Structure 1
Amino acid sequence: MMIDTDTLETFRDIVKEVIKAENDALREEINRAVSPIHQMLEDCHDKLRNHEHELTALDTRMLAMEANCKEMSNRYEKLQLKIDDLENRGRRCNLRILGVPEGLEQGNPSGFIAELLYRVLGDGPNGLEKPPVLDRAHRTATRAAADGGRPRPFIVCVHHYQEKERIQRLAREKGRLEFHGKQILTFRTTVQI
Structure 2
Amino acid sequence: MSSSRAKNEPTKSDRNRSQLQPSEPESPERPGANEEMLRSIKVMMDDQRTEIVAKFESIISELVKMEVATALKPLQEKVSLQSVTISDLERSANEHSDQLTGMQVNMAKLSATVESLGKKCEELEARSRWHNIRLVGLPEGSEGPQPTESIAKLLMDLLGLDEMTGLTALCSAPLLHNGKRVHIFPDFTPTVAKQRAAFAQVKRELHACANMKFGLRYPATLHITMSSGQTHRFEDLDQALEFVNKSLKKNPALESD
Say whether residues 1:88 and 2:88 are aligned partners.
Answer: no
Give percent identity, aligned residues only. Answer: 22
Q: Structure 2 residue aligned with 1:32, among 45, 70, 73?
A: 70
Deviation at 1:82, TM superposition (A): 1.4
Checking the alignment, whether the CA contact within 8 Å between 1:91 and 1:190 is kept in structure 2 is yes
TM-score, normalised to structure 2, is 0.41
Report the Cα offset of residue 23 of structure 1: 4.3
Larger Rg: 2
Q: Distance in 2 between matches of 1:88 and 1:70?
A: 27
Call closer, same or farther: CA 1:28–1:86 in 2, change over 3 Å: same
Aligned counterpart for 2:170 among listed residues 166, 170, 175: 175
Q: What is the correspondence of 1:21-170 to structure 2 with a 5 Å cutoff?
A: 21-97=59-135, 105-115=143-153, 120-122=160-162, 127-128=165-166, 170=167
Q: CA RMSD in A?
A: 4.2
Q: Normalising by the residue count of structure 1, what TM-score does the alignment of the two structures yield?
A: 0.52
Contact residue 129 and residue 187 of structure 2 kept, 8 A = yes
1:190 alignment partner AA: D
Unmatched segments (≥5 aa) in structure 1:
129-169
- State the Cα distance separating 1:51 from its structure 2 match: 1.6
Name which structure has the greater RCO, CA cutoff 8 Å, separation 6+. 1
Cα deviation per residue 1:72-120 (whole Å; 9 max; x = unaligned)? 2212211220121022112101134578788775411212333555674
**How many residues align structurally?**
142
| Cα distance, 1:35–1:175 mapped onto 2, change above 3 Å | same
Preserved contact between residue 100 and residue 182 of structure 1 (Cα < 8 Å): no
Structure 1 residue 28: Cα displacement: 2.0
